[in-house]
Structure 1
Amino acid sequence: MNVIKGVVDALSYMHNDCFPPIVHRDISSKNVLLDLENEAHVSDFGTAKFLKPNSSNWAELAGTYGYVAPELAYTMKVTEKCDVYSFGVLALEVIKGKHPRDFISSISSSSLNLEIALNEMLDPRLPTPSHNVQDKLISIMEVAFMLR
């Protein structure tokens, strides 16, 4: 959960506290670094774009396959929403321990039972989390599924 929170903090800073706002355009597990205290830091701003006020902000497609927001591929318009979609995929990946591509494509959000989904999503290499942590993970998954 700390990794997810660290990425959220970084995105909040880039999107809300910077002027002009910065869109990373490649939020993925390969671009999240952990320090010695396992605090997450977003890296690799090679594809980042400053959003220009009063501009359409059109750009070429950039990002890692499996994390790119579908609307970006269709519209080529860069907004903060591009990073938010990628964050949703990343959050599910952190919980699952691998990219959630099969899980995402097999479940429609309208029929999603998150308690059942949590059991399917948890990284089997980790010990079963406490009920308190499970509740927080379910909340994270709810947000992640709303973002995708």
Structure 2
Amino acid sequence: MDNGSLFYALSIDDEVVELDWTKRVNIVKGVAHALSYMHHDCSLPIVHRDISSDNILLNSDMEAFIHDFGTARLLDLDSSKRTVIVGTYGYIAP
């Protein structure tokens, strides 16, 4: 993606200046819409399991895209099976 990861955009002083509040809100809304689609609109819901600023890419219009589905799982609604904890420490749900 043209603007790299959200982590990069928030870490580099020159990039942070370009992220005004309107762009930040649009990034959050884009991620929320993507997660909502994955959880509710897929025939088998997809659980990403590693959402972090490193795994959100920004295009030239500063639109957010989720990537790195290496730890993602399809959610079987009839299953109560638990799996091992995965994800990035500091971002893992409690």
Asked if 1:38 corresponds to 2:62, the answer is yes
Q: Which residue does 1:58 correspond to in 2?
A: 82
- How many residues of Structure 1 are paired with residues of Structure 2 in the alignment? 70
Counterpart of 1:9 in 2: which secondary structure? Answer: helix
- Percent of paired sites with the same residue: 59
Counterpart of 1:10 in 2: which secondary structure? Answer: helix
Which runs of no fewer than 5 residues in structure 1 stay unpaired? 71-148
Which of 8, 26, 49 is the matching residue for 2:50? 26
Counterpart of 2:88 in 1: which secondary structure? Answer: coil
| 1:49-85 residue CA offsets vs partner (Å, 9 max, x unmatched) | 1011210141111000001111xxxxxxxxxxxxxxx
The structure, 1 or 2, with the larger RCO (C-alpha pairs under 8 Å, 6+ apart) is: 2
Counterpart of 2:29 in 1: which secondary structure? Answer: helix
Which runs of no fewer than 5 residues in structure 2 stay unpaired? 1-24
Q: Shift in Å at residue 7 of structure 1? A: 0.3
Output the CA distance in 2 between the equivalents of 1:4 and 1:52. 27
Maintained 8 Å contact 1:3/1:38: yes
Report the TM-score when normalising by structure 2. 0.72
Q: 2:74 is matched by which residue type in structure 1?
A: F
Which runs of structure 1 show a deviation greater than 2 angstroms over 4 or more consecutive aligned residues? Answer: none
Maintained 8 Å contact 1:51/1:57: no
Return closer, same or farther for 1:57/1:19 CA change in 2, 3 Å cut-off. farther
Bigger-Rg structure (1/2): 1
Report the TM-score when normalising by structure 1. 0.46
Q: When you count helix as a share of all residues, which structure comes out higher?
A: 1
Q: Which residue does 1:81 correspond to in 2?
A: none
